[in-house]
Amino acid sequence: MQPPITIAGTTIQPGTRKSIELPIPSFYTHKAASMPVHVIHGKRAGPCLLVCAAIHGDEINGVEIIRRLLKHKTINNLKGTLIAIPVVNVFGFVSQSRYLPDRRDLNRSFPGSKKGSMASRLANILIEEIVDKCTHIIDLHTGATGKDNLPQIRAFLEEDEDIEKLARAFGVPVIIHTDMRDGSLREASKKRNIPVLLYEAGEALRFDEVAIRAGVRGVLGVMSCLEMRRPVNKKKNYNTVISRETTWIRANDSGIFRSIVPLGASIKKGELLGYISDPLGEIETKVTSSVFGIVIGKTNMPLVHEGDATFHIARYQEAEEVSGYIETYNEELDSPIE
C-alpha cells in the first residue's frame, strides 16, 4: 500500500478520493479564491499523474474532459494517484479570458515565485503544491479565440524515450515535436524530470465533442500505458505519425476570408486553401500552401488583416496517408470509451 498524500494541508489516504480547494490570491472584494483539485489516491503504489486544464482561462474543452474522466468507472480502482485540476487559471475562467487580471500569461510564468506578480505566485502555488508531487503530467489546451485545432499531442521528443511512448499511447493520429517555451509548465516540469504531454484540440470558449471524446480516450490510454488502469487491447486501425516541423500560412492581403479546406485535410505545395476578397467581391486573392502537410489548425474568423495566421500545417511528405488515418480515427471516436 502506498503512503498518504498531502495537498494544501489536506491528507488523502490510500484507497480514497477527495476534492480540495487549493487557496490562491483573493478577488478584489477580499472574497477568498481557490483552485479546485480532485485527488484519487489508489491503494497500490504507482505513478502520480496530473491532468490539468484551463491554464489559459478561456480554453474550456479540458474542463469537460476532466469532468467526464472523473466519472469514468475504471478510475475508482487505479494503481498510483490521479490529480485532476479542471480550472488552473480561475481568474481567467471567470472572466472568459486567456490571461490573468494583470494581463500576464500564466503559461509563461512558471516556475514562479512567492513574492512575484500574481501570475508568478499562482504558478509557484501549482509547482509547490501539485507538480512537485507528480511523476507525469497531461496539460489540456485548445486553440485561441477564433482558432480551431485538430486533436494533436505536442511534446519534446528528443531527450526522453518514454515521452514518445506516452504520446503514442494518447492515441491521436498526429504528434508534433515542439521545443520548450520559456516560462511554460512544460519547461518547468522538464527541469524536474517530469514528462509532459500537451493536448491541443478545438477552439477557446467552445465545447467540441470530437475534441472532448478524443481527450478522454487519450488520458485513459496514457493511464493504461502507465499501468494505472487495466490495458484495453483494442487494435487501432490507424497509425500515429510524428511531425517535426510546422508552418503557418498567413494572409497575403486584408479582407474577408473564405476557407475551402477542413481540419485534417491533406495539402500539397501550391494547393489552393481559400480566398480573401473585399466586401464587394471585386478584388480577390488566393491563399495557397507553401508546403506539403496536414491542416492541424485554422482560423474561424472571416475577417483578416494582412499577416494574420489562416492555417497551421504540420509538414508531412506522406500527407495523404496521414489524412486517411485522421478520417479513420474520427470514425472510431463514435465507439464507446473503454
pLDDT tens per residue across span 86-138: 999 999 999 999 999 989 999 999 999 999 999 999 999 999 999 999 999 99
Kindly state the cell numbers that stand for 12.
Answer: 488523502
Angle at the Cα of 153 from the Cα atoms of 66 and 112, rounded to 5 degrees: 70
How far apart CA 82 and CA 68 sit, in angstroms, is 14
Q: How many other C-beta atoms lie within 10 A of the C-beta of residue 65?
A: 27
- pLDDT given at position 232: 75
pLDDT tens-digit readout, 192-201 = 999 999 999 9
**Hey, is 23 helix, strand or coil?**
strand
- pLDDT given at position 8: 95
Stretch (H or E) spanning 243: strand 241-243
- Note whether 313 and 293 are within 8 A (CB): yes
**Hey, is 82 helix, strand or coil?**
strand
Residues 6+ apart with CB under 8 A from 52: 62, 84, 85, 86, 88, 126, 130, 137, 138, 139, 140, 185
| pLDDT band (50, 70, 90) for residue 159 | low
pLDDT tens-digit readout, 259-277 = 999 999 999 999 999 999 9
Q: What is the pTM of this model?
A: 0.96
**In angstroms, what CA-CA distances link 137 with 47, 189, 192, 208?**
10, 8, 12, 22
Q: Which of 6-15, 37-46, 156-165, 203-212 has the lowest mean pLDDT?
A: 156-165
pLDDT tens-digit readout, 31-88 = 999 999 999 999 999 999 999 999 999 999 999 999 999 999 989 889 999 999 999 9
